[in-house]
């Protein structure tokens, strides 16, 4: 390997943080043809031992672990981490100022059907076995609506137009007077408006648009929207049969 010790240590730290312990300690040497450390780059401990020897591998491995510990301590001291803990213990309906976990496909809800566009997106994701990710969301505003309004497929877009909220994202951890790094961007959370009807709700993040560009759903959306999901599933099957 032509890599410097610092490059090797940083790559070890990256690999150890992204792999399961049994993958890192796999006794079979594993390489990546065009990896971070030149061609045939080691990607597990056995491969590093073959290239560097046991003693040097142990030395670099300990320094890589030090990097990971320092990173973990820094992450635990962030506002973002504090808000994730708030979201972990959140119960009940969203309230203004709350931090909660919500799910989103990442697809735009630009079909004019608001909540039902996102339910359709979920059906699409399920059909294609895509992962529906969980996001940390801050509730900036709460709008309570009637059952009649909640059933209106144009509700989400109408609310964005009526209340003119922007959404977007925010971080309390970015360094002042510096360009944010990739790690800094990981401390962002989503700014949303909660729409509530009785015990059901969804979140809107217009992302600066004039319509409900992104809709976020409760983590237990499959239960809360069981009936609507079945309707969207039937609609999807009919369109794609």
Please check whether residues 62 and 158 belong to one and the same domain.
no
Tokens of 228: 């609507």
Over the Cα atoms of the chain, what is R_g?
23
Q: Tell me phi and psi for residue 237, to 5 degrees.
A: -65, -40
How high is the pLDDT of residue 76? 82
Please check whether residues 72 and 85 belong to one and the same domain.
no
Please check whether residues 27 and 58 belong to one and the same domain.
yes
CB 203 within 8 A of CB 91: no
CB atoms within 10 A of CB 101: 15
Please check whether residues 230 and 215 belong to one and the same domain.
yes
CB 121 within 8 A of CB 107: yes
Please check whether residues 94 and 61 belong to one and the same domain.
no
Tokens of 88: 């972990």
Number of domains the chain is built from: 2
Spatial separation of the C-alpha atoms in residues 121 and 163, rounded to whole Å: 25
CB 1 within 8 A of CB 37: yes
The model carries a pTM of 0.75
How high is the pLDDT of residue 44? 94
Report CA-CA distances (Å) from 37 to 3, 68, 194, 198, 205: 6, 19, 47, 56, 41
Write b or e for each residue in 11-21: b if 16 or more Cβ atoms lie within 10 A of its Cβ, otherwise e.
bbbebbeebee
The β-bridge relationship of strands 214-218 and 189-197 is unpaired
Last residue of a domain, one of 50, 76, 102: 76
Please check whether residues 31 and 93 belong to one and the same domain.
no
Last residue of a domain, one of 47, 76, 105: 76
Last residue of a domain, one of 60, 76, 92: 76
Give residue 42's domain range.
5-76
Please check whether residues 29 and 137 belong to one and the same domain.
no
Please check whether residues 51 and 113 belong to one and the same domain.
no
Residue recorded with tokens 């969203």: 94
3-state secondary structure of 27: coil
Please check whether residues 66 and 107 belong to one and the same domain.
no
Report CA-CA distances (Å) from 232 to 106, 124, 222: 18, 10, 12
Please check whether residues 53 and 100 belong to one and the same domain.
no
Please check whether residues 69 and 106 belong to one and the same domain.
no
Please check whether residues 47 and 138 belong to one and the same domain.
no
Averages of pLDDT over each 10 residues, the chain, 241 residues = 89 91 93 89 94 94 89 83 95 96 96 95 92 96 96 96 95 85 90 97 97 97 95 86 72
């Amino acid at each position: 390997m032509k890599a410097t010790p610092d490059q090797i240590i940083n790559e070890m730290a990256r690999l150890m943080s992204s792999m399961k312990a049994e993958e890192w300690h796999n006794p079979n040497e594993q390489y990546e043809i065009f990896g971070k450390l030149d061609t045939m780059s080691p990607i597990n401990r056995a491969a590093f031992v073959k290239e560097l020897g046991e003693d040097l591998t142990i030395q670099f491995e300990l320094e890589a672990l030090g990097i990971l510990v320092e990173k973990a301590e820094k992450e635990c001291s962030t506002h973002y981490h504090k808000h994730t803990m708030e979201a972990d213990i959140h119960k009940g309906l969203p309230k203004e100022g709350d931090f909660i976990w919500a799910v989103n496909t990442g697809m735009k809800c630009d079909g004019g059907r608001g909540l039902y566009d996102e339910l359709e997106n979920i059906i699409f994701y399920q059909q294609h076995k895509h992962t529906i990710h969980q996001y940390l969301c801050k509730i900036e505003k709460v709008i309570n609506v009637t059952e009649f309004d909640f059933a209106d497929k144009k509700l989400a877009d109408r609310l964005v137009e009526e209340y003119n909220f922007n959404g977007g994202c925010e971080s309390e951890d970015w360094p002042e007077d510096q360009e944010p790094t990739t790690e800094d961007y990981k401390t962002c959370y989503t700014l949303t408006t909660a729409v509530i009807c009785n015990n059901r709700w969804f979140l809107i993040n217009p992302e600066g648009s004039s319509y409900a560009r992104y809709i976020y759903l409760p983590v237990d959306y499959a239960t809360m929207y069981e009936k609507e999901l079945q309707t969207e599933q039937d609609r999807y099957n009919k369109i794609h049969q």
